[in-house]
Amino acid sequence: MRGKAFALALVIAVAGAASTWYARQDHPATTPVQESTSTRFDRLADPPRTVVTTGGAVEATLTDGARTVVLAGPARTFRDPRSGTTVTGTAWVRLAPQPWAAGAERAAWFGPWLAAATHNTAPDVLAVALQYVDGAPPVRDATGRRIAGDATFAPNADYDDYLTRASGAVDSAGFVRLVYGFREGFPLPALPRTAAAMAAAGPGAAVVPASPQRVTDCSRLQAGDLVFFTRTPDGGGVTRAGIYLGRDSGGHHRVLISGRAAGPAFGKGSTLDGESGYAKTFRAARRL
């Protein structure tokens, strides 16, 4: 029986010069696509993306081929209730209405969407994902159906199993589909059922191409990315998927994943660096 002490702490503090955090910011910029007195749209590479700055502060990062957008927002801290691990950052993750492309800042949809997204105070992708950790209270929709709350793990359990079964069980790919698909509105038919299919042919941008060997370079990752793992360090196919949260208080790269021991969690061993089991089996990453 999983503990029911809900210790998720969300600390919001307005950051004086808040900037979107992603793992590496040292890629050289090319000539700005567009510039005004207050807003710039700079093109960066590896992966190809557009960084929006206003008054010199990073406002948003949009990656070619992906709908996932990282926005600069108030600093907050997520806490894993079982281990006490904390992740603090200013990255807020939301889905744009369509995949990004170079020059899309000129499209009619973009300005109104960005203005609304930067002022949106509703839970983002990361906050929604944390609604399923150990001890999280139930959240119900208008019909009384439970749509969030303490989740457990079961093999082959998809998002709808969580919604309909008392155990609230979901496997790793089912958890991704629950958060990004059912809760955030990414089309479920486009989001493969298995971690292997997500990694190989899923939507979005492959920010870390699939490798038969352990991936040790986390510099391309940003909060909200999907990360993929094999079952053992010896290789084989991808069997598990998680959501990258960012760096923890010790500087380690943390992943939120529905695992056998605790269901969705980012505590002991849930790191992409070092000698954890997940670090040794990390093989690919994709940005939806």
DSSP string, 246-266: EEBTTS-EEEEEEETTTEEE-
CATH number of 196-287: 3.90.1720.10
Read off the pLDDT of each residue in 232-258 and give the average, rounded to a whole number: 96
Lowest mean pLDDT among 36-40, 44-48, 147-151, 203-207: 36-40
Nearest partner of 126 among 220, 260, 226, judged by Cα: 226
Model pLDDT, residue 236: 87
Q: Inform me whether the pLDDT recorded for 25 exceeds 60.
A: no
Q: Which residue has the tokens 């207050």?
A: 38
Higher pLDDT, 262 or 10: 262
What lies within 8 Å, CB to CB, of 80 at 6+ separation is: 86, 133, 134, 265, 266, 267, 270
Helix and strand numbers (H, E) in the chain are 6, 14
Q: Inform me whether the pLDDT recorded for 95 exceeds 70.
A: yes
8 Å CB contact between 73 and 64: no
Report the predicted TM-score, pTM, of the whole model to 2 decimal places: 0.87
Model pLDDT, residue 37: 55
Phi, psi angles (nearest 5°) of residue 75: -65, 145
For the chain, give the percent of residues with pLDDT over 70. 87
Residue 184, helix vs strand vs coil: coil
Q: Inform me whether the pLDDT recorded for 28 exceeds 70.
A: no
The pair of structure tokens assigned to 189 is 């038919």
Q: Inform me whether the pLDDT recorded for 32 exceeds 90.
A: no
Model pLDDT, residue 275: 94
Distance, in Å, from the CA atom of 23 to the CA atom of 228, rounded to the nearest integer, reads 17
Higher pLDDT, 244 or 15: 244
Q: Inform me whether the pLDDT recorded for 8 exceeds 80.
A: no
Q: Inform me whether the pLDDT recorded for 103 exceeds 60.
A: yes
- Give the N- to C-terminal CA distance of the chain in Å, as an integer: 34
Give me the residue spans of the domains in the chain.
129-193, 196-287
> pLDDT digits over 60-84, tens only?
999 999 999 999 999 999 999 999 9
For the chain, give the percent of residues with pLDDT over 90. 85
Q: Inform me whether the pLDDT recorded for 17 exceeds 60.
A: no
Q: Inform me whether the pLDDT recorded for 7 exceeds 80.
A: no
Lowest mean pLDDT among 32-46, 83-97, 139-153: 32-46
Model pLDDT, residue 31: 42
Element (H, E) at 230: strand 226-232
> pLDDT digits over 115-174, tens only?
999 999 999 999 999 999 999 999 999 999 999 999 999 999 999 999 999 999 999 999
Q: How confident is the model at residue 235 (pLDDT cuts 50, 70, 90)?
A: confident
Q: Which residue has the tokens 């749209």?
A: 41
Model pLDDT, residue 45: 98
